[in-house]
Chain A
Amino acid sequence: MINGGTHCCSKGDSVKVTVRRAAVLCLLLILGIGVMETSATGLLAQSMQTSQQDEFVPIDELETEDQLPAAPLLIAAYGFAWFAMFVYLWSIWRRLARVERELASLASRTTER
């Protein structure tokens, strides 16, 4: 009974050890893959950054045909601001003139009565 029990326990222990070994192996494998992937991504990012830095050209060093001219944008912005203000003030003046004209005609009609 004791022998049988010992035999039973040692068999169970060996199973447990095997499971533990497999678990540790899996963990190591996962860690290894993780580390490899991280370093690969890092290297890739580094190489991409280097290539992007190599590609970077300051805007004032671009070819003339590649540069976006600033003057038309500036003129458009200022032109629109002036135009919008002018149109709005003109619209107020026009609406005011119409109402005042109507008021005057009504006043003349009421005095005639």
Chain B
Amino acid sequence: MFPPLIVLAMIFFVCAPVFIAWAPYESTMGLVQKIFYFHLPSWAAMFVAAIVCGIASAVFLFKGRVIADRIAVSSAELAVVFGLIGLVSGPLWARKAWGVWWQWDARLTMALVLWMIFVAYLLLREYGGPGSEKLAAGVALFGMANVPFVYWSVNVWRTVHPTTNVVPTLVPGMRGALWWSLVGFLLLYALAMMARVRLEEQRAALERIYRELDD
């Protein structure tokens, strides 16, 4: 499962720029609009990571399953990575399209808060000491609850950010490039998740052996 997924993810990720180059130019923004093909998929992957982390945390909190905790911490790390890509690519696009790097509007501020919740989750796991897993799981639930608000914020509050009806109204040339890129990012997420969960399992095995040696 692992090697085929690596190959598939690499094909998608390496070919994405070619499809993006073929995609037509947007009439008002021109070349810089092509950041969209990495910006949107990175946030989509971030949202998926945040939701997976939230669900796994709920399972860990209410059922006490250790595997759910391993999935949660792995997904939180990926939420931070994909969120960082979105937070960096967004201002680079905004600088040209809006004339500013950042705008403290509802969408951008809520997206930043969402990202910071998952940074807080990881900091809590790292430095919270014994029992921090359960506290962090609670934080993850708040993070997951924030996702629909971030997504829907552009339709509710007045903001410079485009609304959610951009994707359904894309021309076919743009839509193909976007879907290709989106699948590539989601495959990368799956690939990184598998590797990261394996790392957690190996760490747990190592800890178990050390405990047995101590006994």
Contact of B202 among A60, A73, A89, A99 (CB under 8 A): A99
B88 & A80 in contact (Cβ 8 Å cutoff)? yes
| Residue interface bits A79-95, CB-to-B below 8 A is 1, else 0 | 01100110011001101
Name, among A60, A84, A88, A96, the residue most crowded by chain B CB atoms within 10 Å (CB to CB): A88
SS class of chain B's interface: helix, strand, loop or mixed?
helix
- Size class of the B contact interface (CB-based, 8 Å): 20 to 34
In angstroms, how far is the closest chain B Cβ from the Cβ of A74?
6
Please tell me if A100 contacts chain B, counting CB pairs below 8 Å: yes
**Which A25-81 residues have a C-beta within 8 angstroms of B?**
60, 68, 70-71, 73-74, 76-78, 80-81
* Residues of chain A lying within 8 A (CB to CB) of residue B81: 84-85, 88
Please tell me if B196 contacts chain A, counting CB pairs below 8 Å: yes
A73-B35, A81-B89 are known contacts. Are A92 and B192 too (CB-CB below 8 A)?
yes
Please tell me if B57 contacts chain A, counting CB pairs below 8 Å: no
Interface size, chain A (Cβ < 8 Å): 26
| Residue interface bits B104-123, CB-to-A below 8 A is 1, else 0 | 00000000000000000000
SS class of chain A's interface: helix, strand, loop or mixed?
helix
* Residues of chain B lying within 8 A (CB to CB) of residue A85: 13, 81, 85, 188
Q: How far is the CA of A84 from the CA of B77 in the complex (A)?
A: 12
List, sorted by A's number, 6 A–B pairs whose CB atoms are closer than 8 Å. Answer: A70-B31, A77-B92, A93-B195, A99-B202, A100-B202, A106-B210
Interface residues of A (CB under 8 A from B): 60, 68, 70-71, 73-74, 76-78, 80-81, 84-85, 88-89, 92-93, 95-96, 99-100, 102-103, 106-107, 110
